[in-house]
Amino acid sequence: MSDTRIPVLASVKSHPRVLERLKEKFDLRLMEIDGPASLPEAERSEIRGAAAAFGGFSAEWMDMLPNLEVIASFGVGYDAVNVGHAASRGIIVTNTPDVLNDEVADTTVALLINTVRRLPQAEQWLREGRWEKDGPFPLSPLSLAGRHVGIFGLGRIGLEIAKRLEPFKLKISYCTRTPRDDVPYKHYASLLDMARDVDTLISIVPKTDATHKVINAEILSALGANGVFVNAGRGWSVDEEDLAAALKNGTIAAAGLDVFYDEPHVPQALVDVPNASLLPHVASASVPTRNGMADLVVDNLIEWFSSGRALTPVPETPQKDG
Ligand code: NAP
Ligand code: 8YV
């Protein structure tokens, strides 16, 4: 008997729960990481929905699928999906906002503390038997206490970071293009002005044309010698050469990075500096949170094909009212 369910496409590299649930509800077709090219042309024209994994979804891929209506992307950041092209084709793109706010905010605060107090290095000291052999781990030159944190991007996740830092008794400011009227923190329209006033900068902005390499030598120099920089947004926003130089020559004191410009490549200059705390893009990477993201990917496709409305469309591909 032929499968009368709606044909949807997903990468073999998708989260296992995405594949499992899509298989239950849809006629699931799989593509390799190089996209739909390997599918026979007749099969490509049957595809009406797609789940995008880590590599995103290019214009070329969309154009191989003439009847594609919706792309459900895994992750809140959807910079790897060509949303401009999707909009021009009338394809709805969805992302996974909110379900990861707490996890990413928790990890960002943990990364800040690791960076300031050198806790990963202290644990390494113990594991290497150096506590017994060489004595106590050296005092951390920096402390979190009394810091003034500037959050670059006070959206869903930035706000959760700010809320977590309040009980740490830290002063909080933020920089966005549009001030919020629901927070008590000082707003800066200029990242440079904020960097001059704070000693701790946390970046949690999306990858867009306007955020390309905006954290550069000038911003790091304004942050100053007691400065700590943490990035949980996208590596795209940072000039990594400038950052490595600033860490090496003491322009800033330390950095904590979860994201990099050309992942999974991490510049050796950042690996080599002892005052950088580095994570392999794990801010949302717990089993429960990734399951929540996987469910939202699948629920968006289910909702689209049952009601004609996606749950969480991105602003660049709005749904028609009604
Ligand atoms: P969001 O709710 O859309 O918030 C984005 C914030 O950035 C807003 O406050 C926005 O304010 C600000 N912003 C955007 N462009 C800006 C610019 N040019 N200058 C200044 N501020 C700007 O997004 P979110 O859900 O919080 O997620 C933020 C980003 O975090 C994602 O896009 C993703 O790249 C990253 N992320 C990383 C991980 C990880 O695993 N490390 C996990 C989740 C998310 P205005 O529009 O007013 O400027
Ligand atoms: C994920 C992220 O690691 O949601 C995002 O924007 O960067 C992370 O949650 C990523 O989406 C996995 O592709």
CATH classification of the domain holding 122: 3.40.50.720
- Give the DSSP letter of residue 134: H
Residues 118 and 267 in one domain: yes
- Tell whether the model's pLDDT for residue 121 goes beyond 80: yes
> Would the pTM count as exceeding 0.85?
yes
Judge if 210 and 135 occupy the same domain. yes
Q: How many residues does the chain have?
A: 322
**pLDDT tens digits, 255-292:** 999 999 999 999 999 999 999 999 999 999 999 999 99
Is residue 124 situated within a structural domain?
Answer: yes
Helices (H), the chain: 16-25, 41-44, 59-63, 83-89, 101-117, 119-127, 130-134, 156-165, 191-197, 217-223, 240-248, 268-272, 287-307
Residue 55: pLDDT band (50, 70, 90) is confident
Within-domain flag for 314: no
pLDDT computed for residue 54 by the predictor = 83
Residues 161 and 269 in one domain: yes
Residue-wise pLDDT for 218-238, tens only, equals 999 999 999 999 999 999 999
Separation of CA 41 and ligand 2 centre (Å): 31
Confidence band for 322, pLDDT divided at 50, 70 and 90 = low
Residue 69 beta carbon below 6 angstroms from any ligand 1 atom? no
Determine the distance separating the centroid of ligand 2 and the alpha carbon of 104, expressed in angstroms. Answer: 9
At residue 200, does pLDDT exceed 70?
A: yes
Asked if the structure places residue 317 within a domain, the reply is: no
Whether ligand 1 lies within 6 angstroms of the CB of 237 is answered as no
The pLDDT of 152-166, averaged and rounded, is: 99
Task: Write out the catalytic residue numbers.
Answer: 234, 263, 281
Nearest atom, ligand 1, residue 154 CA: 9
pLDDT recorded at residue 2: 59
pLDDT class of 321 with cuts at 50, 70, 90:
confident
**Shortest-distance atom of ligand 2 to CA 234:** 7
